[in-house]
Structure formats: structure tokens, C-alpha cells
Structure 1
Amino acid sequence: MRSTLTALRKKLAAGRKLSMLTCYDASFARVFDEAGVDCLLVGDSLGMVVQGRDSTLPVTVADIAYHVACLQRGSPRAFLLADLPFGSYQEGPTQALRNAVTLMQAGAQMVKVEGGAELAPTVELLVRSGIPVCGHVGLLPSHVHALGGFRVQGKAQAEAERIVVDAQALEAAGAAMLVIEAVPEPVGRAVCEQTSLITIGIGASPACDGQVLVLHDMLGVTASPAKFVKNYMAGASTRGDAVADAVRRYVEEVASGAFPGPEHVYGAAAEAVPRIYGA
């Protein structure tokens, strides 16, 4: 039986943090599902790790919908999220609703949008229409050119305060979940403390309700991973189920709070992100 937002909240209430991985095909979806991953995300990161592009910007709604359908067939249990990619919601709430419906019909249970308070009207319409929404603050891969590269966000006081305000605005608009990406640990912690959203960190804070990694990073495929990545294939057995074992270790370390450690988060004087795909 497929998981739900209610089931995820019950896990959190029981003291178990949530594990999330990006995923793009039925085979990995099955392995991740059987290993106990709570949430699978079809991220626009597929543009870089699957399509070989240098950013997430060229990814289309049709691309995301295709991969969502693959996951839906391969995974009977995990909660499924899908990115609304660049250009699919910037025109406003009506465009966002039309494209979100496409992703939900493909099998998604929630859509994710990158941005802050400016997206409140879009989030409100989606939620009123019965579409759960996950926000995304901090480093926004689809804004890479405006940000001047893949850089840690929230190092300056004004930026840090804006990230918290954006998170609160998304919550007020009806978002249920929030990805916090590549921010100094105190900023990630502040978002967790000042909202009641289900918070999912990626280079944010151990205080988050869960963590997400790109599967290629977690399995050690990425040549120069960002600081927040842990290669769970390092030291893995040579048995045929090595990938499943690596994923199970990730799930357990996230659930118990062992991951991320201090070495996987950014301090107040946050380092630049050398290479990142985003979630």
C-alpha cells in the first residue's frame, strides 16, 4: 500500500526521520522501495544526471511525467514527489495547475516548486485544487544563472532572514513539505524551528525532519560531490545486493539522525558548493 502524508507524519511523531532519494526509473524505484526509502523524488536533476546537460533548465513537464510513470510502476509503497520544472509555473497559478495535473495523473502524490513568497498564490491554487505542494528554499538550481552559480545561500543576515520568511509564506499558503538546500546550518535550523512544515534537508541541518540526496551522489557515481553528500557505496560488500545494502544504511542513518553529521553541513561562514545537482 502506497504511503501518504498522514503516514509520513505518523513516522515523524514516532521519532523516526524521513529518508528521500531522487529516482528516475522503475528498477531503482523497486530497489529503493524494498530498502525502505520513505519518499522518492523525480527531480529536475534528471537533466544533469540522466540527460547529461549542464543545468536543470532544459527539463520539461513531459520529461518529469515520463519518469514519474516509471516510478509509479516500479514502486508500490514509497511516497512519490515530482518537480515542476523551470518554465512550467513561472507564468502563474493557472499554468502551474495545468502542469501539476499532468504530473499527478502520471502518478505523483505531490509536486515541488522552487521559490519563496512570490509563489504563495500558486501554492494556494494548487492546494485548493487538491494537489499537495512541497516548497524549496535556499539554493534553487533552476535559478542558477540569477544566483551566479551553484552557491550556498543565506550567508548574509538579510538572505538568511528572507529564507525563513519565504518558508513561512509557503506554509501560510498551504504547502505541506519543504526542501531546504545548501544553507548554513543555523539557517536550516531556524526554518525548522519557525515553521511546522515537514522539512527535508540537503546540505541544511540535522534538525530537519528528513534528508534527501541525489541517487547518483549517494551511490558514489558523482566524481566531485558537494560537501553534504555521503557515498554509501564506500566500503560496500561485493555481493549482488550491494546497492540495496547501501540504500538500507542510508535509510537507517537518516531515520536515526546519524546522517547528516557535522561534516555534511555548512557553518555560518558557509563554503561554496563546488558541484551540485540539486534535488
Structure 2
Amino acid sequence: MSAAADIKRITTATLQKLKNSGQKISMLTAYDFSFARLIDASGIDVILVGDSASNVMAGHETTLPITLDQMIYHASSVVRGAKRCLVVVDLPFGAYQSNSDIALASAIRIMKETGAHAIKLEGGEEIIDSVKRIISAGIPVMGHLGLTPQSIYKFGSYNVRAKEEAEANKLKSDALILQEAGCFSLVLEKIPAALAKVVSQSLHIPTIGIGAGPHCDGQVLVMHDMLGINTEFRPRFLRQYLNLYEQVTGAVKQYIDDVKKGGFPSESESY
């Protein structure tokens, strides 16, 4: 039996078991085959093919420009590299907000064309019809509340959300609505830690935090931020585990120097 056959795939049920047993869930973004393979081999629980690809892969200012076709391309690449973890794909802006028919068609395309295991949508009660339609088709849905980047022009900033009572109450209500609709998990982005704790304790499904404090059932970061590839983005919630910007530019500078001085390739590197 091959080693690949021994790998047990993580599922939505696995995440529920982790929450039930008090074990934390680890989640990172990835957008291509090579990094997906590295992250998966490291033992991550979930890879999110985030619409943040619009920022870190394509250089856009927001997540809004990325298309469904582009998300399918990135997700297909990630799925080919992930042999163990659960792969969740963001539905991009415009692929679900207008009506539930379009939302379902978008989700079906992602599942059929990428081989991914679940999709993620931003919003609460205002998109609940789309959530229900997608789940009724047998597609697992991860919700996303708090700072929802696809609504950045509505918010006007990337500041912490739900600090005021009215917005906090709506978030708590939306979380319960999404759970009742059948979401298997919920991302809470950039909200007060105390609120995230209340929401996490009120739900039986797992919560995944980003800038939402330590009381969520798991955490997610953007890979490019966590590895120090993107040096411009340094929010309070980010822990940078490497500085790949310095390491990569240093290696490239050394390569340039070796080429310019004739040190590469050497005799042993020639045929």
C-alpha cells in the first residue's frame, strides 16, 4: 500500500470533532500547487483558497476584482497539492450576492471544476437564501462575519468591526442564523476578543478567528503575511513566523553576483 493511501483526509466532521474535544483548528491560505503541498505536508487542518489572491497574487488593492474563473484556477492548483487537509474556496464578489440561483451555480462550478471540499461566503441574514440553496445541494458552507473584505467600500476602512452594541448584536444573531441554516463553520474577522468568545461559546459549530482573539476554536492567517512575503501589511493580529522577503531577495542578490562575476555555473554544475 502506498504512503498516499495511508493519509486520512480531514473533513468537516473532523473539524466538529476537534471543537467538541477542545482541540484548536489550524487554517492558512494558499493559492498554488507548490505552497499547498508544503502547507499540507506540514499538517495544517484547513487550506483556504482565499479571494485574498486578488491582493497577494494579482496585486489589486481589494478582493473585489478577482473573478470566479480565476478562483477556480487557483483552487484547482491547490487541490492537486493537498492530499490531507480540507480545502475551502471563497466565492468571489459578484458570484453570490445578486440571487440564490447565481450563488448555487457559482458554488457548483467550484465544486465540479476544482475538486475542493467546501466554499465560504461573506455575510449573514442578507445572504441566507444563497447559503440555504447551496447547502441544500449538498455543498458544505463556511460562513464569514465581522470584517468582510468584499464589503470594504461599504465599511470605508479595515478597522475592527462590531465594537458598538447594535453591530455586535447583529453579528451574534447572524452567527446563529448561519448555524441554523447548516453552515459547518464560521470565520470571525477583526472583532473584539470578548465578542468572539461569546459567539464561539454560543455556537456548536467551530469558529475560526483572524484578528478575533484567542477564544475562537481555530485561527487563520494569510500565508503571504505569516511567512513575511508581504512586508507592507503588519496589523496587530499578525504574527510573522518568517521573513521570506529578506531571505528571497538575499538569495537572488547572491545569484546575480555569482552570475555577474562568472562564479555560476562552475565546472561541477556544467555538462
What residue is the counterpart of 2:202 in the other structure?
A: 194
What residue is the counterpart of 1:62 in the other structure?
A: 69
Contact 1:110-1:133 at 8 Å conserved across structures: yes
What residue is the counterpart of 1:178 in the other structure?
A: 186
What residue is the counterpart of 1:51 in the other structure?
A: 58
Which of 30, 35, 44 lines up with 1:23 in the alignment? 30
- Other structure's SS at 2:159 match: coil
Larger Rg: 2
TM-score normalized with structure 2 length: 0.84
Which of 67, 75, 79 lines up with 1:72 in the alignment? 79
Q: Report the CA distance between 1:177 and its aligned residue.
A: 0.7
Which of 214, 227, 231 lines up with 2:236 in the alignment? 227
Which of 127, 143, 146 lines up with 1:135 in the alignment? 143
Q: Deviations over 1:183-237 (max 9, x none)?
A: 01111111112222210000113111110000011101222311111011169xx
- Matches of 2:14 and 2:172 in 1, distance apart? 26
What residue is the counterpart of 2:167 in the other structure?
A: 159
Q: Deviations over 1:126-164 (max 9, x none)?
A: 111001101100001000000012121011111111111
Unaligned runs of 5+ in 1: 239-279
Count, aligned residues: 236
% of aligned pairs identical?
42
Which of 81, 85, 90 lines up with 2:88 in the alignment? 81
Q: Report the CA distance between 1:121 and its aligned residue.
A: 1.3
- Matches of 1:15 and 1:189 in 2, distance apart? 14
- Matches of 2:17 and 2:194 in 1, distance apart? 26
- Other structure's SS at 2:78 match: helix
Which of 14, 19, 23 lines up with 2:21 in the alignment? 14
- Other structure's SS at 2:129 match: helix
Q: Report the CA distance between 1:28 and its aligned residue.
A: 0.6
What residue is the counterpart of 2:221 in the other structure?
A: 213
Unaligned runs of 5+ in 2: 1-7, 248-271
- Other structure's SS at 1:180 match: strand
What residue is the counterpart of 1:42 in the other structure?
A: 49
- Matches of 1:57 and 1:234 in 2, distance apart? 28
Higher relative contact order (CA 8 A, sep 6+): 1
Contact 2:19-2:205 at 8 Å conserved across structures: no
Contact 1:119-1:170 at 8 Å conserved across structures: no
- Matches of 2:189 and 2:243 in 1, distance apart? 24
Which of 98, 105, 115 lines up with 1:98 in the alignment? 105
Q: Report the CA distance between 1:12 and its aligned residue.
A: 3.0
Alpha-carbon spacing, 1:120–1:81, altered in 2? closer, same or farther (3 Å) = same
Q: Report the CA distance between 1:30 and its aligned residue.
A: 0.8
- Matches of 1:34 and 1:14 in 2, distance apart? 24
